[in-house]
């Protein structure tokens, strides 16, 4: 299954690959040159297809857990000041996505969207300390009665040039369902209440919609 954000790019890629294949097959006579070109075209197509894949995830719905919004590796766990929405200290958990990860963003909890805002910005590498505040990004807050307000922030990186965000204020959303997409690599930051019990550690690999980031006892 492929994500709808990739339909156009996948279609264009198929056309280009087939076109270059036919041109190569017609004009390039030497096999030592033809086959490497065919291999490069096939590899390019595979990369595009795997990037826009949207595998089904079995989210265990729970009001007492926060699931990872994306696939990737936990690169930050620290107490920080969150200046945009909470304007106080929160526990930040950041998940970095490489270009080979699934790039679908999913709601970390069920509840109501109380804040959703897009910010244009720079394209610093995703692990840069200022990426959270200076890069292109979207900030979304989902609230429910059990966990309160949970903020997640999609952050563009050096390769990511477009963030797609489906969250709209007042939407009622379900944990683990699609909330957006980040094209070609980046990271997502989660901001949780101080004292939240974490179920992940630094450098741990997580899956969006399945891996538990935090839970209430």
Please tell me the total number of residues recorded for the chain in this structure.
Answer: 217
What are the beta bridge partners of residue 90?
80
Residue 192: closest CA among 104, 107, 78: 78
Catalytic annotation present for 186: yes
Cα(8)–Cα(137) distance, integer angstroms:
23
Report the Cα–Cα distance between both ends of the chain, in Å, rounded: 36
DSSP one-letter string for 104-145? EEE-SS-EEEEEEEEE--B---TTSTTHHHHBSEEEEEEEET
User: Which residue in the list 110, 116, 132, 186 is annotated as catalytic?
Assistant: 186
Write down the residue that tokens 């805002």 correspond to.
117
Q: At what angle do helices 7-27 and 31-51 cross, to 10 degrees?
A: 180
Catalytic residues: 186
């Amino acid at each position: 299954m492929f994500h709808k954000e990739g339909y156009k790019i996948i279609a264009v890629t198929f056309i280009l690959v087939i076109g270059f294949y036919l041109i190569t097959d017609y004009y390039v006579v030497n096999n030592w040159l033809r086959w490497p070109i065919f291999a490069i075209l096939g590899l390019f197509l595979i990369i595009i297809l795997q990037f826009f894949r949207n595998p089904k995830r079995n989210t265990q719905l729970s009001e007492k857990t926060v699931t990872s919004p994306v696939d990737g590796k936990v690169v930050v766990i620290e107490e920080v000041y969150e200046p945009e929405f909470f304007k106080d200290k929160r526990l930040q958990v950041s998940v970095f996505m490489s270009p080979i990860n699934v790039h679908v963003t999913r709601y970390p909890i069920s509840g109501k969207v109380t804040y959703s805002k897009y910010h244009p910005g720079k394209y610093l590498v995703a692990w840069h300390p200022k990426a959270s505040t200076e890069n292109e990004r979207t900030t979304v807050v989902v609230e429910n009665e059990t966990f309160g307000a949970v903020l997640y922030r999609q952050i563009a990186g050096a390769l990511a040039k477009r963030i797609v965000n489906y969250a709209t204020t007042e939407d009622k959303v379900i944990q683990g369902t699609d909330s957006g997409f980040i094209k070609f690599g980046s990271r997502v930051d989660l901001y949780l209440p101080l004292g939240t019990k974490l179920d992940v550690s630094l450098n741990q690999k997580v899956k969006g919609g399945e891996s538990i980031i935090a839970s209430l006892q």
